[in-house]
Structure 1
């Protein structure tokens, strides 16, 4: 496992139209670590993920992605080495699952005209489709896929260039319970299949965290409330502060669950 960080964020601020979105954020992600960024809506999670994915520049501070400092590197080229999974994938054509996955090689949403993958690339796509549990949907077209199937296809697509870093932006958005559990199971499989792959997952639902989550950053109002190993950061007290609500956090078989931590009702009689 490499000692060099896959991501390094140092004292980063993001200001838009005079409004601070992120303030004094620092983060280091190394190979094989699986981070989750948690916080209420508006906490700054998606803004931070856009920096990690080389989609935006910080107002102040340092962001290094795969050893390249933003502001000193071709952002478009750098993005081709990052597996970024966005559930709002704006695909308009009825592509087959295999074709959607293959677009991960060209870093485009649609198939590039006259581009033809090699037999090895097709085999890699088929392997990833199987790994994400979509073998029986291999030739299904995009409009016919469920939301959960689309999410897993997009993860396979993101893995096609063999990235060192996988970014997951609220991957369980819009999924029912079955779809969510299938997705989490496959993400957990990836973490065992690619031991050196680093990942960052953004969510505001602790139930969506895979069991293999190693580290967590809690964001509140654009600031880091806590950051570090998941077992140290994910406590009832800190999660309650993060979401500004009394929460009782439990973990069973590697999965987290939450409920409101209300005072016990007085006994009557």
Structure 2
């Protein structure tokens, strides 16, 4: 039995890890922590928790993910996305325990035009992306054998996300204008949660991996599918990024190449439309 500390226990990914935890109950004992019950900026508190619970692995899902707000409060973003992961990695190294750190497609600038591989050059273009990319580097400095798992466009029935925003707006407004020239892949947090728990118990895994659902989409495609599956008749219009300026610049193409994770874990990844259907069936 592996004792695993899971940070960000109340976030959408943390909540989905709770959902799938029973499937792994014979191999993993999960300890979920939130900002309320463990101060992740306190080295002594984390040390005490790890020793008291005989923690053997850390899954770090805690992050600052407000992409636009990060432009106004970079220090807050840096605290969650760089300082805390670095500290966790330092402690993990001291205790000789495993660590999986969740990162993002926003580590890339989106100019590639083809799905990003793990060893492609990072070049973030927003404060959020820059702090997440710096966090990756700091984690590996402290713990060279850490796992960095990049993902994209995460949604779930929990937390605040694009799926829930579109459903709410679809009920409130007769018409929505959605960006069609940013391309990526939606990822259901539950699919991601299963992969994380599979990875943390797999021996000798380290370095970068990419995971999202299969397929590609624009935000317009994603929104249209959400509205169609929710039987909402809201009119939806495609617009260009330039017509909807935001404080943070986003990558125009941030599809992730998942060949490495599929081969390593010997998994099949669900298409984003299939996973969206299952997620929505739980919301209705």
TM-score by length of 2: 0.31
Structure that is richer in helix per residue: 2
Structure with greater proportional strand content: 1
